Structures are given as structure tokens and as C-alpha cells.
Amino acid sequence: MRKKFKVNLQLHGSKDTDYLKDNLTGFVPVEQAKEIMKDVARGSSILRLSKVEPMQSDTKKFPVMTDGPGAYWVGETERIQTSVATWIFPEMHAKKLAVIVPTTKEKLKDTTINVFAEIRPAIAEAFYKAIDAACLFGTNSPFAKNILDVATAAGNVVKLGTNGENKLDLDISDVMALIEDAGQDVNGFAAHYGMKNSLRKLRDGNGAPLFAAGTNQNEFYNNPIEFVRNGAWDKSKAETIAANWNYSLVGIREGIEYEILKEATLQSVTMGDGKPLSLAENDMIAIKATMRLGFLPIKDEAFAALTPKEEAGV
């Protein structure tokens, strides 16, 4: 079943009658912040697959047993043995993720709730694309690890075509086997959107489809598969990623903050004259929205990747 993403947002923000011109900085009104986070959860494959944890501060430690039994059978009145289990305490660090959305100066006359209701899709899209790209491939990432890197470090990589042409199902089975050999279960896949066509063509020995396309969830080998459709997937690096996603942790700090910019020049926005957008010169404003998020894959061997086949002569 698809996991539900939940995060409790603190009741920061403005009242319905507060106008943007009177509140140039602050927290996004709580109801709009909740809707933005719901949109982020719907658009982010990492959030839909991973274990999401609330964070009360910018750091959080997680106890992980790496070796040993950790517990012992004990009879009545017997002394409990000293555990020889090895525990590690990896620490997750929340990082600031920001997006700047330019808009008309007239928005200063609108209420904060109306403004954020209007620009909510733009904020959510920017957030979930950046989250997936950073966590899956390390693209523009502030985090020490990403999924593809830890899979590669564990040696859990299979080249597409290893089992011959048109044997995608066997290649993915070999990817799963790498995780299973380490004593882990695969409980989901991530793949680029173009993989859907190849999966639809797969058949078992009786001619039945191996890939089940559903309304609410797609499945392959009886596990959910998330197709990353937000532009974050790097097809030059991986075709599919299999994992025990319980070891992919995402931490969410509460609240989304905003700041109104009036004088900045936005180098990433090019106007019709070929010059960057100057808010003052173009009589516009921009809304900078920020959230804090942490990411931590805690067992390298729980991740594996199917990577593109090598081109001839490479």
C-alpha cells in the first residue's frame, strides 16, 4: 500500500484579513502550508517511498543496530546478558530549501492566504523536484549521501542488458538479488517515466503481464514502483532503483517561511530583452519560500540500481 505522508505544521502565519503588504516576512498561513506540503508529498517519489520523520530541531539521531543479536532469551530469575550488538547513531541534518517566485506588485494588496493559494503549485513543484534530484542522485545536494552513491558504494549495480536484449525483468531481478543477498527485502522501486513502456511489454511464461498498472499504485514483482515524472530523474545514471525504503529517512521541520523581495535581480529569470529580471525596474515583487528538510540513507546494502548499458566503444 502507498504510504501516507503526514507532517504537523505549527499554527504560524496570518489571519484571513492580513495583507501581504503588511506582512513582508513570516510563516506561510498554516492551511496553505499544509496544502503545499501535501502537493510536495504527491509530487515527490522520495517522500512517497521513504520513512518520513518529524524533526523538532535541525539535527536528529537515529539508533541503528548493525551487528549482533541485541536481545537474549532469559529465564525467570536469570541474569540478563550484556548485549554484544553493535549500534550506530547516524545524525540527520535539516537543510534549507528555498524557491523564489516572481509575481506582480499588485499581489501586495491581496491577503497572504489568497497569494499563497495562487502560487502554491509553483512552490510545491520547485520543492519536490529539488528533493528528488538531491536524494536520488545528489544533484545540487547539501546532503552527504544520496541513493545512487550508496548503492554504488555497496557494489549493488547491474548494467541494463546483462541478461541479454529484452530481458529487463531478469535484470531487475538481479538488482533485487543484490539487496536480498545482504539479508534485506526490496519493498519498492523508483524509475524514470520512460520505463513504463518497457515494463508494460513484459510477460511471464504464461503470457500474463508482469507489470500491474493501477489507478492509485503501480506494481512490479508485487512491489510498488514510483515513476519520477517531475524532471528530477537522471537517465544517464540509472534506469531503476530498488530498495528497502525503510532505510531511506527524510526529516521534515515544521512550517514554511516566506520573505517578500522588492529590489533583487533574479539571474535565473530572463526577460524578453534577454536581461535578468530586475524587480525594481520591472515593477514586480518576488516571494521567497523556504522549508527545512533532512535526508539520510542509513544502510548502503539496502539500495541497488539498474544502470544504463554502456555504449559501444565506451
State how far the Cα of 24 lies from the Cα of 260, in Å rounded to an integer.
5
Per the CB < 8 A criterion, the answer to whether 237 and 159 are in contact is no
Q: What percent of the chain has pLDDT over 70?
A: 87
- Beta pairing, strands 86-88 & 64-67: antiparallel
The per-residue pLDDT for 49 is 96
CATH entry 3.30.70 includes domain 20-65+89-143+250-295:
no
Instruction: Write the Ramachandran bin of 78: left for phi over 0, alpha for psi from -120 to 50, otherwise beta.
Output: beta
Q: What percent of the chain has pLDDT over 90?
A: 68
Residue for grid cell 549521501: 145
Helix (H) or strand (E) holding 40, with range, is helix 30-43
Q: Which pTM does this prediction carry? A: 0.86
Q: Considering only 129-138, 209-218, 246-255, which range has the smallest mean pLDDT?
A: 209-218
CA 38 to mean position of chain CA atoms: 13
Q: Per residue, what are the HEC states of 150-164?
A: HHHHCCCEEECCCCC
Q: Averaged over 227-255, what is the pLDDT?
A: 94
Q: Averaged over 283-310, what is the pLDDT?
A: 94
Q: Averaged over 11-27, what is the pLDDT?
A: 77
Mean pLDDT of the chain: 88
pLDDT band for 292, please (50, 70, 90 cuts): very high
pLDDT at 14 over 80: no
CATH of domain 162-248+299-307: 3.30.2320.10
Residues contacting 76, CB < 8 A, separation 6+: none
pLDDT digits (tens, 9 = 90+) for 55-75: 999 999 888 776 655 566 666
Q: Which residue has the higher pLDDT, 166 or 100?
A: 100
pLDDT at 180 over 90: yes
Give domain limits for the chain: 20-65+89-143+250-295, 162-248+299-307
Give just the sign of the alpha carbon dihedral 244, 295, 231, 155. Answer: negative
Per the CB < 8 A criterion, the answer to whether 70 and 81 are in contact is no
Q: Which residue has the higher pLDDT, 12 or 226?
A: 226
Q: Which of 236, 229, 288 is nearest to 257 (CA)?
A: 288
The per-residue pLDDT for 213 is 81
Q: Considering only 86-90, 275-279, 282-286, which range has the smallest mean pLDDT?
A: 86-90
Q: For the purposes of burial, counting CB atoms within 10 Å of the CB of 179, is it exposed (0-12), middle (13-18) or buried (19 or more)?
A: buried
Q: Which residue has the higher pLDDT, 84 or 186?
A: 186
pLDDT digits (tens, 9 = 90+) for 85-101: 677 788 999 999 999 99
State how far the Cα of 282 lies from the Cα of 56, in Å rounded to an integer.
40
C-alpha cell at 206: 504464461
Helix (H) or strand (E) holding 287, with range, is strand 284-297
Q: Averaged over 270-277, what is the pLDDT?
A: 85
pLDDT at 284 over 50: yes
Helix (H) or strand (E) holding 180, with range, is helix 168-181
For residue 46, list its beta bridge partners: none
Per the CB < 8 A criterion, the answer to whether 258 and 13 are in contact is no
pLDDT band for 207, please (50, 70, 90 cuts): confident
- Phi first, then psi, for residue 134 (nearest 5°) are -70, -45
Total Cβ atoms within 10 A of residue 46: 25
Residues contacting 11, CB < 8 A, separation 6+: 30
Q: Averaged over 260-276, what is the pLDDT?
A: 86
Per the CB < 8 A criterion, the answer to whether 49 and 135 are in contact is no
